[in-house]
Amino acid sequence: MRAPYGLNILDNCLTCPVREEHLFCNLPFAALQKLNEIKSTATYPRSATLFIESQQPRGVFVLCTGKAKLSTSSSEGKTIITKISEPGDVLGLNATISSRPYEVTAEMLEPGQANFIARDALLQFLREHGEVALRVAEQLSRNYYTAYEEIRTLGLTNSPAEKLAKLLLSWNAGAEHTNGPAQVKLTLTHEEIAAMIGTTRETVSRLFSGFKRKKLLELKGSTLIIRNKPALEKMVHY
């Protein structure tokens, strides 16, 4: 079914054509049927806010299409983007399970669809389906290690150039690889990239210009092409 923003609504988890190995995808039939009953589907425009930092958790959002950025802010107004969420990600899981306020703000980077599951319905769902509860426990563990890696990157990486190189390599790892160089759809502004690596927009613009001069990467419109992965890897101290 067509929806606003040129999207195709995926309104039935049982017949979803794009199911992959994500937290709430490819579940056993009984669990998937129950999930289909307790979720509500909505589409969101770019810049729509799903939830905000410090808000009491209402439930989780399962991102079906589109991308969302997760960010946290200091009392002085400084913002750090902690993650770019992709289709299949479950947003607000930590807060919803622990009954603590959302630790980040979730904002759509592009038009997309998300399925909402209210907290009480989610907890009952996990009580009834042990396999799903185990998957949630595994996901929470992965979230912990992701947060640990982010702290290492921001706190122990010596230079903005190294931080940017590490970010580009992470995008390269998630890109589709053909016979040529990896190509990444760049949906973030320089200011948003700066918020991911803890620097300024001016620094990010300067680094991109330098990387292009050194032929480490190339930009064609919104497509980022990684030209020299080994050189980027040499810049990163793991």
pTM of this structure: 0.77
Give the residue from 118, 135, 156 where a domain finishes.
Answer: 156
Q: Quick one: 107 and 42 in the same domain?
A: yes
| Domains identified in the chain, total number | 2
Boundary residue ending a domain (156, 176, 197): 156
Residue 83 has pLDDT above 60, yes or no: yes
What does the buried/exposed string (b/e) look like for 75-84 if buried means 16 or more CB atoms within 10 Å of the residue's CB?
eeeebbbbbb
Last residue of a domain, one of 121, 156, 191: 156
Instruction: Choose the weakest-confidence range: 20-24, 26-30, 106-110.
Output: 20-24
The 10s digit of each residue's pLDDT in 116-146 is: 999 999 999 999 999 999 989 988 888 888 7
Domain housing 165: 160-235
pLDDT one-digit tens code per residue, 179-211: 667 788 888 899 999 988 888 999 999 999 999
Q: DSSP letters of 16-58?
A: -TT--SSTTSS--HHHHHHHHHHEEEEEE-TT-EEE-TTPPP-
pLDDT band at 56 (very low <50, low <70, confident <90, very high): very high
